[in-house]
Amino acid sequence: MLLFPNFRYVVSYLKAVAVGTPSVKTGLHTVFILPIIILALFSNPIKEHVLSNARFSWLSESQFDFCRILLVILWALLRISTAKIQLQAYLDLSLEKLQILRRETGYIKSNELQRMIYQYASYFCAAALQYFLPVLLTLVIALLLKSVGNIGIFETPEASSVLKTNVTEPTVHAFLSLEAQKPMWTFFLVMILTINVSLYVHARCISNLPAEENNTVFLVGTYTLKEEGQIYLLEADDNWTHISGKPFLFHDGEVLHLSGHPKMANIFSTCSLLWAGGKLKPIAGIWQLNDEKSSISCLSSFDVSEKTAKILEFHWHNSGDQAVVLYDHSISICDVSDSHNMKNAATKKLDVRRLNNITWNPHGSGTNLCLAADSNILELDSRTLSSSFTITNAHAHNVLYLDYNPLVPYRLASAGEDGRVCLWDTRKTTAPFYVFHDHSHWVWNVKHNPIHDQLMLSCSSDGRVFLSHLITNKDPDIENPIKSVEKELVVECDDSVYSFAWAANDPFIFAALSYDGRVTIAKIKRDLKYKILNL
């Protein structure tokens, strides 16, 4: 209830600090740091140190408790006083988002820009409620603690231990004793203050664990150079009532790509950038989750010797014995049959401005690779690194993502900076047989459902995720295999959505990740599910 509102608070706090005057910055920093000081005062070691110190002999335990509650009230009043600045910073986020989109290439319709501004403005009342709710709840519990605990500045410890209440009046003391109430309300106050001390991290990549067949599990990697990186393991319970997130410290910098091992549920790979020695160091690594999923350990890693190279992606072959590593201008085929050691088997450098994505072709011999190179698409044989086919100018701008239909050979989906998703028959590459125009900006990811290939997801910098239900023609003589498409907007976020993943244990569950670190795990609607299953 409180965690997401405080993520939003941190976003507006960072924005307000960036544009505020020195006096405003001082006030905002005070409001942000004060809960940490209050939490420290609620810890037993500090309390015992203060009360046992001869310099504070004039301070009784009741007076110390009163000072803590007074600080909580002061913090609440200060945060309320800065509400106008914080909420204005929230509204300014729409302008910042528009500036980011305009710096990128691609045509954006004016009504889409207006829609984005309206999205922030229409959510203003909810954002204001989310700003004040944690403050008011903290204030109420602090006053309850003062009232039921008989805490006062002029009371002595002996007097405060005596419960004075009229038994004829219905009070909270009639249900719980003072000894039970005081620690209970203190616990609630500390927990809410702890939630108010929020963290805000960016994230761009999310992955499932393909070999995990029993639980709904996803991995998320943070995207920040300023702090220690983290890998989050997200897991939904069987009743779909709670999603737990377990963070693991990641020392290799910001995470660019995550990929789960196709055969082993406790193995995954990362591509990252580490700031070390005044320069960026690209690293690819293979990691292992321990049996209790309480820690991760690095099994194997390697970095790039070339100063200009950057490791973008690491993709496992379906067998789990091979993997392909994508760089800015080259690819490497690695032997990973022993996950404790990555052996570089072959490397091919391509004469392109930039490689953006690579994927294995699951059909045929399973040895072909498809690459997004600038605005072109090309397929290579991983054994000889020779070209199979090339689609020139597949998109008006760069191709950003490729995905083969897992069930039907020769079917390929591509996403690009022109805001389009194209479906191709690789035997007829003159033009795509179907084009989607759902998104208003760069499309970063497109994926078929691994079990039901008529379902397809796409996400974009416009903050939206679309689910497409492809209805195919049953007549093989018709040239276009797509009869019609039913589309649904399933996720809409404040920030860009760079990645999503289908769940490995249930084909009707997916998770989408926006750049502000928000993860949305959702189920496909029941009527569509039954329609696909013919129930």
| CB 458, CB 436: distance < 8 Å | yes
| CB 283, CB 275: distance < 8 Å | no
Residue 490: how many CB atoms within 10 A of its CB? 19
Could you say which of 300, 319, 343 is where a domain stops? 343
| Distance separating alpha carbons of residues 324 and 251, to the nearest angstrom | 23
Same domain, 310 and 283: yes
- 62 confidence band (pLDDT: 50, 70, 90): confident
Same domain, 46 and 80: yes
pLDDT digits 0-9 by tens, 227-251:
678 898 988 877 766 677 888 888 8
Same domain, 365 and 314: no
Q: Which residue has the tokens 């110390």?
A: 64
Sheet with strand 455-460: strands edge to edge: 443-448, 455-460, 464-472, 482-492
Does 213 reside within a domain? Answer: no
Instruction: Tell me how far CA of residue 115 lies from CA of 104, 118, 429, in angstroms.
Output: 18, 5, 36
pLDDT digits 0-9 by tens, 96-141:
777 766 665 455 666 666 766 767 777 677 777 777 877 888 888 7
pLDDT digits 0-9 by tens, 342-367:
777 778 888 888 899 999 999 988 88
- Any bridge partners for residue 151, and if so which? none
pLDDT digits 0-9 by tens, 132-189:
877 888 888 778 777 766 676 655 444 334 434 444 444 444 444 455 555 655 655 5
Same domain, 135 and 244: no
pLDDT digits 0-9 by tens, 304-342:
766 557 889 999 999 888 899 999 888 988 888 876 677
Lowest mean pLDDT among 104-118, 254-268, 384-398, 458-472: 104-118
Quick one: pLDDT at residue 198?
41
Does 206 reside within a domain? Answer: no
Quick one: pLDDT at residue 243?
74
Same domain, 370 and 498: yes
Could you say which of 314, 343, 372 is where a domain stops? 343
Quick one: pLDDT at residue 60?
78
Does 285 reside within a domain? Answer: yes
Beta strands 421-425 and 243-250, pairing class: unpaired
Does 438 reside within a domain? Answer: yes
Q: What is the pTM of this model?
A: 0.68
Same domain, 133 and 282: no
Nearest to 208 by CA among 233, 238, 241: 233
Number of domains in the chain: 3
Same domain, 141 and 276: no
- In sequence order, the 6+-apart residues with CB closer than 8 A to the CB of 510 are 457, 500, 501, 502, 503, 521, 522, 524
- In sequence order, the 6+-apart residues with CB closer than 8 A to the CB of 450 are 406, 502, 507
Nearest to 306 by CA among 335, 343, 339, 349: 349
Does 203 reside within a domain? Answer: no
| Distance separating alpha carbons of residues 68 and 142, to the nearest angstrom | 9
Same domain, 324 and 409: no
- Any bridge partners for residue 487, and if so which? 468
- Any bridge partners for residue 514, and if so which? 497
| CB 314, CB 355: distance < 8 Å | no
pLDDT digits 0-9 by tens, 189-224:
555 544 444 445 788 899 999 988 888 899 999 887
C-alpha 446 chain-centroid distance: 17
Does 216 reside within a domain? Answer: no
Residue 19: domain span: 3-196
Could you say which of 343, 376, 401 is where a domain stops? 343
Same domain, 235 and 378: no
Does 36 reside within a domain? Answer: yes
| Distance separating alpha carbons of residues 16 and 32, to the nearest angstrom | 12
CATH number of the domain that residue 533 is part of? 2.130.10.10
Same domain, 271 and 361: no
Does 65 reside within a domain? Answer: yes
Quick one: pLDDT at residue 176?
45
Cα 95–Cα 96–Cα 102 angle in degrees, nearest 5 = 90
Same domain, 327 and 364: no
Same domain, 179 and 63: yes
